[in-house]
Amino acid sequence: MSSRDVVLARVRRALADVPRDEGPEDVPVPRDYLRAHGSRTAEERVALLAENLAEYRALVHHTAADGLTALVTRLLDEHGARSVLVPSGLDPTWLPSSGPTRVDDRAASTTSRLDTVDSVVTGCAVAIAETGTIVLDGSPDQGRRRISLIPDHHICVVRVPDQVVDSVPQALERLDPTRPLTWVSGPSATSDIELDRVEGVHGPRKLEVVLLSE
Amino acid sequence: MSGTYLGMPAFPAAAASSTQDTRLRANLRYATHTIRDKRARAVAELDDWARLRAAGAAVKDRTLRHLDHYLEQLEEAVTAAGGQVHWAADAAEANAIVARLVRETGEREVVKVKSMATQETGLNRALAEAGISAYETDLAELIVQLGDDLPSHILVPAIHRNRGEIRDIFRERMGRWGRPAPEGLSDAPNELAEAARLHLREKFLNAKVGISGANFMVAETGTLVVVESEGNGRMCLTLPETLISVVGIEKVVPTWQDLEIFLQLLPRSSTAERMNPYTSMWTGTADGDGPRTFHLVLLDNGRTDTLADTVGRQALRCIRCSACLNVCPVYERAGGHAYGSAYPGPIGAILTPQLRGTASELDASLPYASSLCGACYEVCPVAIDIPEVLVHLRERVVQGGKVTRRGVKTVLKPAKGHAAERAAMRAAGFAFGHPGVLRAGQRLAGRTRRLHPRRLPGPGRAWSDTRDLPPVPAESFRDWWRRTRGEERGK
Ligand code: SF4
């Protein structure tokens, strides 16, 4: 007997008390919990997102479309970025035409190569106001998972209010489970040393979220 | 690496030793109280907490009552998404599968995400025996690994170490495993974190094989979920060419939608955050993004035996948030090592003796490692009635009865003069033999010092060597004695 058969047979024997005609759906799951905690206007939702992101020590910026390039340029400059990772589908006008060297997100790039890049700019799939979370799903404007992980500085552009939802349940509805998903709530952090919070052990130590109003 | 809990002394002996360690107790007290208070605030923010909790418990119950169905569905979905599924009936088999999969890649080094399941199976040691070095990459696990130590808390495994000790460990040991600690490393947490960042980055960038567990597996979609803070998880899950995830069969949830419950319950119960910094979700393999090969090892190792017990089954709902540890008066005093397994605190007291059986003195004593105060049940986000299971297990240890071991139904003999009873008696005897301990708690530390064994025999010795002092505080112990003895007498 394979271990698969052994384990499944054990499971079935262990469940001798479950009536034969009971199906999974016969075990009720009450779903009377809330889809969102409070009702908000689009503006309030964006404001809550900004507040919660900031509480987790992400740096939050606001801009309209015509100010985006200048803002991104400034943020890269302030970080002293000499090079910036660019996902293939990122709107090219978001980045300064001169300035840091652009490094394309290529499957063939080695991790050591990526480790030499200072910053990365991405879009996002959805942002969650109640928890201060942005979610990346590997779409062309976000790139492979590793590019938002290795550089020390991540600038993430969220289109507001379109990409902002209230809650975790609403975010899951919008996401495609077949894509690799990365949920980010503030910069990398640890509290392993005497519970003192330290930002940035392995992921980017600086997370800047640009709320781009349309 | 020692990395094993086998051969540990029974709970009362281990607890008696660790309660004498002032530093350990101070660290633990600080940690548990801090997290506990923050958690209460984070939970109070959601006015539907009770309903989320009920839903979480119900989803887990549905899953457990139809586990065969969901496991088969999961296997199919993972396979369809390009993953390979393996089944392991016990720890040895899981370790052998992982060692074989690593060997087949031609690699001799792996990076690991913090994982309770591989702690439970003693994977690192098994890999070492197969000539494979396993590098822990969670900061706390790194501290534990470099210190040749064992984790003592689910969430903050190195909470028993303070910053000075961590600096010493980094200075002395990092160089043996890779990049040494920077010159003149201080004990400032940010410097220590930076040292870990540099040391581990070298490993991440070169790693070809990553090993992880998972917090959840979605049967419907084949999606695996890892919840973390530091980003070491993301590193291990996305940079290597091969990813091997070892996951207990109880970690499956039926649907994608079900994640909406657990992603609200877990961070708030665990780190008391609205959301943890990073969550990774992957479904099989993705083109050009992340590992090209993905293996899922589904682990039984006593879970089906636990499932067979209709009272104890609920322990399998556990989402390893560690909230029950932080409210437990016994854990606070005894520390995580005293529980002798990967699972400390109240959940360990009910899970370990079910996973391993109660044949050893340690495992038989675990159901007694509680005052039955009920705080663990109150905070548990999936409403596991830990006190109920504790009482049930005490009854089983003392009276015997039907149990399932390794899938086979057997009858456990009543424990007349059994290890557990002896262990319980000894612990109580310790308290009564030292009435000062019962009365006065910490004040008498200096005076009672000579009365307690300072060292543990056998494998426990290494960690009791450096630990000493003060006694068990009065209340929980007296309480414990009254309740446990009361129960035994009552039956
Ligand atoms: S038993 Fe409950 S409270 Fe304890 S770790 Fe598990 S889920 Fe958390």
For the segment B3-59, what is each residue's pLDDT rounded down to a tens digit? 445 445 567 666 666 655 677 777 778 888 888 889 999 999 999 999 999 999 999
Regarding predicted confidence, which is higher, B138 or B94? B94
Size of interface A-B (CB pairs under 8 A): 256
Q: With an 8 Å Cβ cutoff, is A168 touching chain B?
A: yes
> Under an 8 A CB cutoff, do B34 and A52 touch?
no
Is B327 in a helix, a strand, or coil? Answer: helix
Atom 7 in ligand 1: which residue has the minimum CA distance? Answer: B318
- pLDDT at position B418: 52
Question: In chain B, whose CA is at the least distance from the CA of A169?
Answer: B260
Q: Is B389 in the pocket of ligand 1 (CB under 6 A)?
A: no
Average pLDDT value for residue range B184-201: 91
Helix pair B189-206, B139-146: axis angle to 10 deg: 90
- pLDDT at position B486: 39
Whether pLDDT at B436 is above 60: no
- pLDDT at position A21: 96
Q: Is B43 in the pocket of ligand 1 (CB under 6 A)?
A: no
Tell me the C-alpha to C-alpha distance, in Å, between residue B200 and each of B179, B235, B315. Answer: 8, 10, 35
> Under an 8 A CB cutoff, do A180 and B289 touch?
yes
Hey, how many other C-beta atoms are within 10 angstroms of the C-beta on B162? 17
φ and ψ of A84, to 5 deg = -140, 135
Least confident of A196-200, B211-215, B273-277: A196-200
**Residues near B450 by Cβ (< 8 Å), separated by ≥ 6?**
none
> Under an 8 A CB cutoff, do B66 and A12 touch?
no
Window A:99-118, CB contacts with B under 8 Å: 107, 111-112, 115
- pLDDT at position B5: 55
Residue B119 — pLDDT band, cuts 50, 70, 90? very high
Q: Is B316 in the pocket of ligand 1 (CB under 6 A)?
A: no
Is B48 in a helix, a strand, or coil? Answer: coil
Average pLDDT value for residue range B281-285: 98
Residue B334 — pLDDT band, cuts 50, 70, 90? confident
Question: In chain A, whose CA is at the least distance from the CA of B289?
Answer: A144
Indicate which atom in ligand 1 lies nearest the CA of residue B379: 3
Model pTM score: 0.88
Hey, how many other C-beta atoms are within 10 angstroms of the C-beta on A123? 24
Q: Is B156 in the pocket of ligand 1 (CB under 6 A)?
A: no
Whether pLDDT at A188 is above 50: yes
Give the mean pLDDT of chain B. Answer: 83
Q: With an 8 Å Cβ cutoff, is B311 touching chain A?
A: no
Give the mean pLDDT of chain A. Answer: 95
* Burial of residue B462, with CB atoms counted within 10 A of its CB: 0-12 exposed, 13-18 middle, 19 or more buried: middle
- State the DSSP string of B146-163: HTT----SSSSTTTTS-H
- pLDDT at position B360: 81
Helix pair B259-270, B49-65: axis angle to 10 deg: 120
Residue B160 — pLDDT band, cuts 50, 70, 90? confident
Name the DSSP letter for residue B413. P
Q: With an 8 Å Cβ cutoff, is B41 touching chain A?
A: no
Atom 2 in ligand 1: which residue has the minimum CA distance? Answer: B380
Closest to B55 (Cβ–Cβ): which among A27, A30, A195?
A30
Whether pLDDT at B370 is above 80: yes
Q: With an 8 Å Cβ cutoff, is A188 touching chain B?
A: yes
What are the tokens at A78? Answer: 């302030």
Whether pLDDT at B433 is above 50: no
Hey, how many other C-beta atoms are within 10 angstroms of the C-beta on A30? 12
How do beta strands A126-128 and B293-299 pair? Answer: unpaired
- The tokens 């349309």 sit on which residue? A214
| Side-chain half-sphere exposure of B91, counting CA atoms within 13 A | 17
Least confident of B41-45, B303-307, B366-370, B485-489: B485-489
> Under an 8 A CB cutoff, do A27 and B156 touch?
no
Distance, CA of B281 to chain centre: 22
Q: Terminal CA-to-CA distance of chain A, rounded, Å?
A: 61
Window B:192-251, CB contacts with A under 8 Å: 192-193, 196-197, 200-201, 204-206, 218, 221, 223, 229-232, 234-235, 238-239, 249
> Under an 8 A CB cutoff, do B58 and A28 touch?
yes
Query: Which residues from chain A sit within 8 angstroms of residue B218, using beta carbons?
Result: 177
Regarding predicted confidence, which is higher, B237 or B144? B237
Residue B154 — pLDDT band, cuts 50, 70, 90? confident
Whether pLDDT at A134 is above 90: yes
Whether pLDDT at A10 is above 90: yes
Q: Is B381 in the pocket of ligand 1 (CB under 6 A)?
A: yes
* Burial of residue B198, with CB atoms counted within 10 A of its CB: 0-12 exposed, 13-18 middle, 19 or more buried: middle
Out of B36, B59, B324, mutate this one to test ligand 1's pocket (max ligand atoms within 8 Å of CB): namely B324
> Under an 8 A CB cutoff, do A8 and B70 touch?
no
**Residues near B92 by Cβ (< 8 Å), separated by ≥ 6?**
B121, B126
Residue B442 — pLDDT band, cuts 50, 70, 90? very low
Q: With an 8 Å Cβ cutoff, is A88 touching chain B?
A: no
Which among B237, B235, B269, B201 is positioned nearest to B57, based on CA atoms? B269
What angle is formed at CA A192 by the lines to CA A187 and CA A197, rounded to 5 degrees?
A: 45
Atom 6 in ligand 1: which residue has the minimum CA distance? Answer: B318
- pLDDT at position B424: 56
pLDDT digits (tens, 9 = 90+) for B99-113: 999 999 999 999 999
Beta bridge partners of B409: B404
Average pLDDT value for residue range B264-272: 95
Q: In angstroms, rounded to a whole number, what is the distance separating the alpha carbons of residues A132 and A53? A: 5
Out of B215, B264, B384, mutate this one to test ligand 1's pocket (max ligand atoms within 8 Å of CB): namely B384
Q: With an 8 Å Cβ cutoff, is B349 touching chain A?
A: no
